[in-house]
Amino acid sequence: MGHPKPFKLRHISIGNQECLNGNYRANYLKFYTAIKSTYPDMKVVTNCDGSIGKLDHPADLYDLHVYTSASDMFSKAQLFDKISRNGPKAFVSEYAVTGNDAGKGTLVAALAEAAFLLGLERNSDIVAMASCAPLFVNDNDRQFNPDAIVFNSNAQFGTPSYWMQQFFKYSNSATYHPSTIQVSNYPYLLASALTWEDTNSKRKYLKLKILNYGSAAVPLNMAISGLETTISSNGGIQTVLTSSKLSDENSFQEPKKVASVVTKFSKAGAKMSVMIAPYSLTSFDLLLDKQNLRSSI
């Protein structure tokens, strides 16, 4: 592959979006057998969707692509909740809100994708990896909309989806904790709770993410229990992603029209009262005095 020396390769996908091709399975098995006989530790990825039923061929992971409308993407937050815990794990290698409500990267698209990612985070025992697609686009050569990062020869900016993904950048090394939301007749709230460590400062945080996909501002009384230490009243951070219109986009002229706003959060504690803005993604990073091993929110 052009490298002067061998390099570590841990995963390999056989084909791309070819499961429905009549010859795929027979050809796949030839590659699978040859690869596993020489590199038994290599993780082989099939193109066939293991989320809709048991696969009829061996694989370590299955590749899943999700391109859909904002409303359908929001509903897919529950996609993996009832899937069997046995068998290969999912690699969601491509996901994006597309169509009219996606534009070139809108707030509503980012929020719907956040709902989907909250579902992946909750089901991380059977979802091994995920990546948005496409990641980059040259503004002078657009072939697909939307994209996460837009550039030309002079500048670049992140779409709302880029800013949304920043809320999940610590998920890979974090510990997920159970959480529940009880709001009557308002099915537009989703949440997650996890603990993560800042590798630079070695400080540990409890991160609470709350998505409001509805048009109402929602007051929440949050109670945190099961911690083996206390939440520090200092050092809390609140991050909010929202905008005045669901169709708002970023551009070279307004690169941060829709971008995360970070402020200090001084109300940190085991019990907190907060207001969640309509059509927003909010996170609270609460500094922990010691390592947190178990919690419920």
Residue 178 inside a domain? The answer is yes
Residue 199 inside a domain? The answer is yes
Q: Based on the domain organization, do 162 and 177 belong to the same domain? A: no
Q: Based on the domain organization, do 19 and 157 belong to the same domain? A: yes
Query: Which two three-digit tokens encode residue 263?
Result: 């402020």
Residue 5 inside a domain? The answer is no
Q: Based on the domain organization, do 190 and 167 belong to the same domain? A: no
Q: Based on the domain organization, do 182 and 156 belong to the same domain? A: no
pTM above 0.85, yes or no: yes
Residue 277 inside a domain? The answer is yes
DSSP class of residue 29 equals: H
Domain that holds residue 86: 11-172
pLDDT digits (tens, 9 = 90+) for 160-171: 999 999 999 988
In this predicted structure, what is the pLDDT of residue 27? 97
SS3 state at 11: strand
pLDDT surpassing 80 at residue 1: no
pLDDT digits (tens, 9 = 90+) for 172-212: 889 899 888 888 899 999 999 999 988 888 889 999 999 99
Last residue of a domain, one of 129, 147, 172: 172
Output 242 or 53, whichever has higher pLDDT: 242
Instruction: Identify the helix (H) or strand (E) that includes residue 283.
Output: strand 280-288
In this predicted structure, what is the pLDDT of residue 58? 97
Q: Based on the domain organization, do 212 and 146 belong to the same domain? A: no
Q: Based on the domain organization, do 57 and 178 belong to the same domain? A: no
Cβ–Cβ < 8 Å for 46, 63: yes
d(CA 48, CA 21): 10
In this predicted structure, what is the pLDDT of residue 290? 56
pLDDT surpassing 90 at residue 14: yes
In this predicted structure, what is the pLDDT of residue 228? 72
As a whole number, the mean pLDDT across the chain is 93
Domain count across the chain: 2
Check which CATH number belongs to the domain holding 67 and give it. Answer: 3.20.20.80
The number of beta carbons lying within 10 Å of the beta carbon of residue 233 is 13
pLDDT surpassing 70 at residue 296: no
Q: Based on the domain organization, do 196 and 244 belong to the same domain? A: yes
Last residue of a domain, one of 172, 205, 224: 172
d(CA 214, CA 188): 5
Q: Based on the domain organization, do 18 and 147 belong to the same domain? A: yes
Residue 257 inside a domain? The answer is yes
Q: Based on the domain organization, do 95 and 132 belong to the same domain? A: yes
Q: Based on the domain organization, do 160 and 283 belong to the same domain? A: no
Check which CATH number belongs to the domain holding 262 and give it. Answer: 2.60.40.1180
Residue 56 inside a domain? The answer is yes
pLDDT digits (tens, 9 = 90+) for 243-260: 999 999 999 999 999 999
**Of 214, 227, 226, residue with least CA distance to 183:** 214
Q: Based on the domain organization, do 71 and 103 belong to the same domain? A: yes
The number of beta carbons lying within 10 Å of the beta carbon of residue 251 is 13
In this predicted structure, what is the pLDDT of residue 65? 96
Burial of 278 (0-12, 13-18, 19+ CB in 10 A): middle
Last residue of a domain, one of 145, 172, 199: 172
Cβ–Cβ < 8 Å for 163, 281: no
Q: Based on the domain organization, do 166 and 33 belong to the same domain? A: yes
| % of the chain beyond a pLDDT of 70 | 97
